[in-house]
Structure 1
Amino acid sequence: MQTLVIVGAQWGDEAKGKLVDVLGSQAEIVVRYSGGNNAGHTVITGGKTYKFQLIPAGILHPGTVAIVGSGMVVDPKGLLDELDRTLAQKSDLGTLKISSAAHVVFPYHRMLDALEEEARGENKIGTTSRGIGPAYQDKVARIGIRMGEFVEPAIFETRFRDVLKYKNRELEMHGSPTLDFDTLFSEYTAYADRLRPFVCDTEVLVQDAVAANKRVLFEGAQGTFLDLDSGTYPYVTSSHPIAGGACLGTGVGPRALKNILGVAKAYTTRVGSGPFPTELDDEVGEFIRDAGQEYGTVTGRGRRCGWLDLVLLRQSARLNSLSGWVLTRLDVLSGLEKVKVATKYRYEGGEIEHIPQNIWDFAKVEPVYDEMEGWSGNLRTARKLSDLPASAQRYLQYVEEMTGVPVAIVSIGPDRDETIVVRPDLIWG
């Protein structure tokens, strides 16, 4: 098999989009398996910057089939705007396919998302208010509308009329204005007309490609510790960003996944609320935020920044059965005299080397650091591992030693060319 999963190993924003773009040129199919337009992937190439929220980043390669998988929730207007914007930048794209089983995000989802977040008061989760959580709630409650129904006019009208009655009652309970059926139905029918040619049973396409030994890349969104089950609940997303989500959101079985690369920054960031043991609320944190331009692709919010947490990475390696690491943004730390790495936590008078599942326990831990020599200079000109400063190479080796997972790729800048492949055997094998 020639299958590869790209998964975020931290709390998202690890620069997965760049890796999907770089490796997507070698794949015949790139399929995204979870999330919605609450995720953002940025690709910089040829002097242009592309921002993706729903479309797999691999679509920039004309010979690639880019699939919006069944595990996703899709805002039709957002998807069309994104497609039009990308086409305006680059006319020769790959082929877009949308799973008929992916669920549709409607305006009432966004409204309820904002109302529910407001109702949490001081205990806000930090949602993007894009309607993602409420759309997944409807999926679980079995009242969601899937893309296959959305693009069938007669079925859509009946389903939408029934669901909107129920949703308007929910909005009324929150003291919010209700939505008019005719207005929304007319608007969303127009979106359905445009999206209809892209919608099909994508699970068969992916399964057949795997069986034919074609190169299939599974694109994760967000990160491991935002996973609904394995993340820092309740400060998580509503889907499964971990590698196992590639099976749930595309229709392939676990034995169809060969190599799994965990993408992690050379430091740690987090958006929104929740515990963050290595967070730096000082000038070093500001240095990392400014040097790394750590602002959300979707929200524009400044990300919380801190030292690399190897406790997180070890747990991520286990949860995802990682074959190798993709270490990104090593260049951002250039200029720091010393860098720190958390290797374990202090907790209730002792030391632990795992993340407590109880969020209230996790909030009590304190990081135990190892300090290492920093590095300086412009790393973005490096094209092989030996081009990097010796202390930066030691940093990478330390990550390997402490996690038991080899470094497969190092990213030292946002452009496609600013990538060092260390272990090509860990990519497609």
Structure 2
Amino acid sequence: MLTAVVGLNWGDEGKGKMVDAITEDVDYVVRYHGGGNAGHTVVVDEGKFSLHNLPSSVFRPDVVSVLGPGMVVDVENFISEVEFVVAHGVSPERILVADTASICFPFHRDLDAAEEIRLGKASYGSTRMGISPAYGDRVMKKTLLVRDLFDPENLDARLIPVLDWANARLKTIYGATEVELADVREWVGKLADRLRPHVVDVTSLLRRAFDEGKHVLAEGQLGALKDIYFGIYPFTTSSTCLAAHAPVGLGVPWAKLDRVIGVSKAFSSCVGAGPFVSEFDDETADRLREKWGEYGATTNRPRRLGAFDGVATAYGVLMQGADEVALTNLDQLTGIGDLQICVAYELDGVRTESFSSDPTVLDRSTPVFETLPGWDSDITGARTYADLPATARAYVDRIEQLLGAPVRYIGVGAHRDALIDRGEDH
């Protein structure tokens, strides 16, 4: 069985919590795109952890956590993160990396940061973790794959054209210091032996898993609105965030998805630049950001906040092919008064319920809101839908109507157990 857990919005939807919460009976969890720019927060009995490279299943003792071939691997930070979770009781043998994943070198981070600085006010809000240059170099055939680090006989021959390409940009475009072959050779020497125990042929591994009837879960990063092809381009990431890409990024392109769970917050949040139609005014956003602790898990940048956007999220449901929805962070809406939901946009005086990924169209769009009554009672202890106040249920029901997909899961707190599961038949 192949399940995907993916974002319906701009990222930061709570996918980490959902992956951690529902993987008790999963055998493998595989990240299929992105890299160390992820910020997936899980709260378990061992504590609260922000994961950037590792799948959010890593604290499940019976799950094998895998970095798939569709990723760009920041080797340094991956190893540091492995050592961190191992110190908290995780078995390192259960953490694997695809031998055909791309390397995200330190100079990729330098290139990422230099380009953001060059762009100035026109920057895209990158995490500066090297993701865009690393993916660009994969397409340009100017990077190394994980397996190349273990081929000392051919290492220099592979590295020289890669560094020539990196240095041409660093020196000519950005006026930065060039990267020396000897330094990168030393970097590989320090890290290769520590990485080697985790490296496997993921395609063969997962083929056997499917043949044996194992349950594999594909963990997505960011969300549909950040997808390189169908997101709000160019305010996107550099990989495809869609569930349809999961089999490819996992290394099993022949596999078929059995189930797609799309994740959205009960309100809207976004890190980075770009249009955000339902965004709160600054005063409201500042107040709620402090109340809710809404800061990016990777960069600690303040998240932009807004009302739940039914137009954008319905587009996310469509693009992800979501069979069901997980609505997270409902508890954060407790006690803030009446709640607005964006049910349509007004574009050039015309009401529309269609979403456009064109940022110039979104910049001209204004939200059409419905207002629903809020609730004041604590819902963090709710474990069934009936436990929620009637006004909270009405809020969820309205969102479900707008999305055209069943809201099966409702997050009512940070811990993995703070979750309402309305069941398979909902």
TM-score (norm 1): 0.96
Matches within 5 A, 1:348-363: 348-363=348-363
Indicate conservation of the 8 Å contact 2:58/2:90, yes or no. Answer: no
Distance 1:336 1:303 in 2: 18
3-state secondary structure, aligned to 2:57: helix
Task: For residues 88-130 of structure 1, give each alpha carbon's deviation from its aligned partner in whole angstroms, at most 9, with x where no partner exists.
Answer: 1224466111111110011211111111111212211000111
Match of 1:184 in 2: 184
The answer to whether the Cα contact below 8 Å between 2:323 and 2:406 also exists between their aligned partners in 1 is yes
Instruction: State the AA in 2 paired with 1:69.
Output: G
The residue correspondences of 1:248-267 to structure 2 (distance < 5 A) are 248-253=248-253, 256-267=256-267
CA distance in 1: counterparts of 2:93 and 2:223, whole angstroms: 25
Match of 1:371 in 2: 371
1:179-328 to 2 correspondences below 5 Å: 179-253=179-253, 256-328=256-328
**In 2, Cα distance between the equivalents of 1:35 and 1:219?**
10
Match runs of 1:18-417 below 5 Å: 18-92=17-91, 95-173=94-172, 174-253=174-253, 256-417=256-417
Deviations 1:122-181 (A, max 9, x none): 211000111110000001111121111123222333211331123122211021111222
Unaligned runs of 5+ in 1: none
Name the amino acid aligned to 2:342: A
Q: Which amino acid aligns with 1:391?
A: T
Instruction: Encode CA deviations 1:55-75: one digit per residue, 9 max, x unaligned.
Output: 111121122111100110011
Distance 1:142 1:65, change over 3 A: same
Instruction: Give the Cα–Cα distance (whole angstroms) in 1 for the partners of residues 154 and 13 of structure 2.
Output: 40
Aligned equivalents of 1:63, 1:180: Cα separation in 2: 43
Q: Deviations over 1:251-292 (max 9, x none)?
A: 334762011011100000011100000100244323431232
* 1:207 Cα deviation after fit: 2.8
Whether 1:5 aligns to 2:11 is no
Structure 2 CA distance for aligned equivalents of residues 275 and 131 of structure 1: 23
> Does the CA contact (< 8 Å) of 1:153 and 1:189 recur in 2?
no
Cα RMSD, aligned residues only: 1.5
Q: 1:378 to 1:69 in 2, by over 3 A?
A: same
- Contact kept in structure 1, 2:36 and 2:74, CA below 8 Å: yes
Distance (whole Å) between structure 2 residues aligned to residue 93 and residue 368 of structure 1: 50
Bigger drift between 193-202 and 27-36 goes to 193-202
The offset of 1:384, in angstroms, is 1.1
Report the Cα distance in structure 1 between the residues aligned to 2:155 and 2:423, rounded to whole angstroms: 49
What is the rounded CA distance, in whole Å, between the counterparts of 1:255 and 1:394 in structure 2?
Answer: 38
Deviations 1:375-412 (A, max 9, x none): 11211111111111110011111111121100111111
Greater alpha carbon shift after TM alignment, 413-422 vs 354-363 = 354-363
Is contact 1:311-1:344 (8 Å) kept? Answer: yes
Deviation per residue, 1:338-381 (Å, 9 max, x gap): 00000110001211112223211111100101110111121111
Q: Deviations over 1:29-77 (max 9, x none)?
A: 1001110111111111115112211111112112211110011001100
Preserved CA contact (<8 Å) 1:61 1:94 = no
Moved more, 279-288 or 13-22: 279-288
CA–CA distance in structure 2, aligned partners of residues 319 and 208 of structure 1: 30
Q: Is the 8 A contact 1:59 1:94 kept in 2?
A: no
> How many pairs were matched up?
425
Q: CA deviation at 1:3?
A: 1.9
Give the SS at the match of 1:340: strand
Q: Is the 8 A contact 1:40 1:52 kept in 2?
A: yes
Structure 2: segments with no counterpart, 5+ residues:
none
Query: What do the CA deviations read for 1:297-328 (whole angstroms, capped 9, x no partner)?
Result: 11000000000000011111111111101000
Q: Residues of 1 paired with 2:135 and 2:319: CA distance? A: 23
1:63 and 1:94 in contact (8 A); partners too: no
TM-score under structure 2 normalisation? 0.96
2-structure distance, mates of 1:368, 1:204: 50
Query: In structure 2, what is the Cα distance between the partners aligned to 1:256 and 1:201?
Result: 20
* Equivalent position SS for 2:339: strand
Distance 1:255 1:167 in 2: 36
3-state SS, counterpart of residue 296 of structure 1: coil
CA distance in 2, matches of 1:379, 1:124: 40
Question: What is the identity, as a one-letter code, of the residue corresponding to 1:264?
Answer: S
For residue 59 of structure 1, give the secondary structure of its aligned residue in structure 2: coil
Query: C-alpha distance in 2, partners of 1:150/1:292?
Result: 43
What whole-Å deviation, never above 9, does each CA across 1:207-236 have from its counterpart, x for those lacking one?
332233211111001111000001000000
CA distance in 1 between partners of 2:324 and 2:280 (Å): 27
